[in-house]
Amino acid sequence: MANVSWTEGVSNRTAVRLEADFQYSLFTTIYSIVFVLGLIENISALYLLSNKARHTSPSYIYMINLALADTLFVCVLPFKIHYHLNRNNWIFGDMACRITGTLYYINIYLSIVFFTCICVDRYIAVLHPFTYIQIRVTHYVVVATILWVVALSIMVALILGGPLHNKGLRNTTMCFENFARSSWISRMALYNILALVFGFVIPFSIILICYPLIARRISQIKHSIRKRKALTTIYIILLICTLCFLPYHLTHFLHFLMRSQVIQNKWFTKLIYKMRRITLALVSFNCCLNPFLYYFTSSSRTQLCSQTAYIPQPNKGCFFPSYEPVNWLPEEYLGTGIVESHACKVKLAIS
């Protein structure tokens, strides 16, 4: 059995044995599926997005970085598969445990923040189009670079902060789990609280606020195909967040309270531990679902008309705006009363 001894409350005489024997087959099966599908899908996505990025909206920079993060994630999974096949016994050494463990969890939060960036980008494109057309490629590059720098900084802090493996039962070495209570209330507490607040609660709140506003605006589009594709993109992101990230963070928060011994009920702690194992496995499916987002976004995001569009520029002292040519425009503009297409030349009109 996968038993982890944990002392309940202030008394050292009462112990709760946390059992999850099903985890070995669960993690091995799910990680194997995710590795095969995720590797194929995300390498294909990187190739396609990189080759067509010069023809599309610069927001594809977020998509490319999301696919890159997912590719790094699936490269870690063979180590995790071996770990669980070996009944949670890590044999690759402490440094490999630190690197693979941090890469695993960093991917979760990089995915969420890039989802949020895509959400904000769509929000500005649909509800504030004249602001959107002033955003340059460098803005997207700067945002993506900052996110990677923050992620790498957290990784380095975790890796250099000390060992992340612990001794389990049967003289096994457990990686990134089975931390003592002292670690949960000191070293791990700060990371868990910051990850929960800035890595999930705030980004997820932004997504929940922005997407209903986007959906309401898009629902006014007369073109049914464009409307359906655009709404499908929204639903995919909400689906991934709801199925993969929300259950994981809810159980992780309860798991943190349990390990900190805030929650002490024996039956509840056993349930939390089992749910934690399930949601930890299921959260990895996000890297298999993300390529569907790339597909629907690429098919609905951009409208090319003879590779030319005309954007109004403020013209001081003149009632009529001047127009500046560009080679792309988000398709969400079309049919909203903001953009009209004439003879394959798109013009923004003041409505």
Q: Look at 326 and 99; give whichever has higher pLDDT.
A: 99
Q: Look at 289 and 327; give whichever has higher pLDDT.
A: 289
Check: CB of residue 76 under 8 Å from CB of residue 104.
yes
Look at residue 43 in the predicted model and tell me its pLDDT.
93
Quickly list H helices, 201-323. 202-218, 224-240, 246-259, 266-282, 286-300
Does the pLDDT at position 348 exceed 50? no
| Total-model pTM | 0.79
Does the pLDDT at position 282 exceed 80? yes
Neighbour tally for 55: CB within 10 Å:
12
Q: For 11-26, what is each residue's pLDDT tens digit?
A: 333 345 666 788 899 9
Confidence of residue 177 (pLDDT cuts 50, 70, 90): confident
Q: For 46-75, what is each residue's pLDDT tens digit?
A: 988 888 655 566 778 999 999 999 999 999
Nearest CA-CA partner of 287 in 121, 115, 159: 115
Segment 125-144 mean pLDDT: 88
Neighbour tally for 349: CB within 10 Å:
10
User: Check: CATH 1.20.1070.10 for 22-302?
Assistant: yes
Residue 273 phi, psi (nearest 5): -60, -45
Rounded Cα–Cα distance for residues 68 and 62 (Å): 10
Q: For 249-276, what is each residue's pLDDT tens digit?
A: 999 999 989 888 888 888 888 899 899 9
Q: What angle do CA 290, 296, 299 make, to 5 degrees?
A: 140
Q: How far is CA 53 from the centre of its chain?
A: 21
Check: CB of residue 261 under 8 Å from CB of residue 12.
no
Does the pLDDT at position 283 exceed 50? yes
Rounded Cα–Cα distance for residues 249 and 121 (Å): 25
Does the pLDDT at position 211 exceed 80? yes
- Residues 137-150 as b or e (16 or more Cβ within 10 Å = b): eeebeebbeebeee
Check: CB of residue 158 under 8 Å from CB of residue 190.
no
Look at residue 50 in the predicted model and tell me its pLDDT.
81
Look at residue 327 in the predicted model and tell me its pLDDT.
43
Look at residue 339 in the predicted model and tell me its pLDDT.
44
**CATH 1.20.1070.10 domain residues, the chain:** 22-302
| Residue 242: DSSP 8-state | I
Check: CB of residue 311 under 8 Å from CB of residue 274.
no
How does the average pLDDT of the chain come out, rounded? 77
Rounded Cα–Cα distance for residues 263 and 269 (Å): 7
Rounded Cα–Cα distance for residues 67 and 252 (Å): 25
- In the chain, the percentage of residues whose pLDDT exceeds 70 is 72
Does the pLDDT at position 168 exceed 70? no
Confidence of residue 172 (pLDDT cuts 50, 70, 90): confident
Rounded Cα–Cα distance for residues 45 and 67 (Å): 7
Q: For 218-252, what is each residue's pLDDT tens digit?
A: 877 766 566 666 677 778 888 899 999 999 999 99
Q: Look at 223 and 217; give whichever has higher pLDDT.
A: 217
332 membership: H or E segment, kind and range? none
DSSP string, 111-180: HHHHHHHHHHHHHHHHH-HHHHTT--HHHHHHHHHHHHHHHHHHHHHHHHT---EEE-GGG-EEES----
Look at residue 188 in the predicted model and tell me its pLDDT.
78
Q: In 3-state terms, what secondary structure has residue 267?
A: helix
Rounded Cα–Cα distance for residues 40 and 201 (Å): 31
Q: For 184-195, what is each residue's pLDDT tens digit?
A: 777 778 888 899
Look at residue 56 in the predicted model and tell me its pLDDT.
60
Rounded Cα–Cα distance for residues 319 and 296 (Å): 39
Q: For 140-158, what is each residue's pLDDT tens digit?
A: 999 999 999 999 999 998 8
Nearest CA-CA partner of 284 in 9, 8, 29: 29
